[in-house]
Amino acid sequence: MAKDKKKGFFSWLGFGRKNEEETQQQEAQQYDNDVVKDVENKSPHETAVDAATAEAERQHQTEQAAIKAAEDEAERQYEAQQAAIDAATEQAESERKAKLAALQAAQDQAEQAHQEAQEKILAEEKTERERQETEAIRIAEAEMERQRQVELAAIQAAEEAEEQRRQAELAAIQAAEEQAERERQAAEA
Task: Report whether 86 contacts 23 (CB < 8 A).
Answer: no
For residue 187, is it within any domain? no
- The domain of 119 spans 2-126
pTM (2 d.p.): 0.37
Residue 118 has pLDDT above 80, yes or no: yes
Task: Report whether 50 contacts 35 (CB < 8 A).
Answer: yes
For residue 176, is it within any domain? no
69-100: pLDDT as tens digits: 999 999 999 999 999 999 999 999 999 999 99
The number of domains in the chain is 1
The number of helix segments (H) and strand segments (E) in the chain equals 3, 0
Query: Side-chain half-sphere of 81: how many Cα atoms within 13 Å?
Result: 6
For residue 160, is it within any domain? no
Task: Report whether 76 contacts 12 (CB < 8 A).
Answer: yes
Task: Report whether 145 contacts 153 (CB < 8 A).
Answer: no
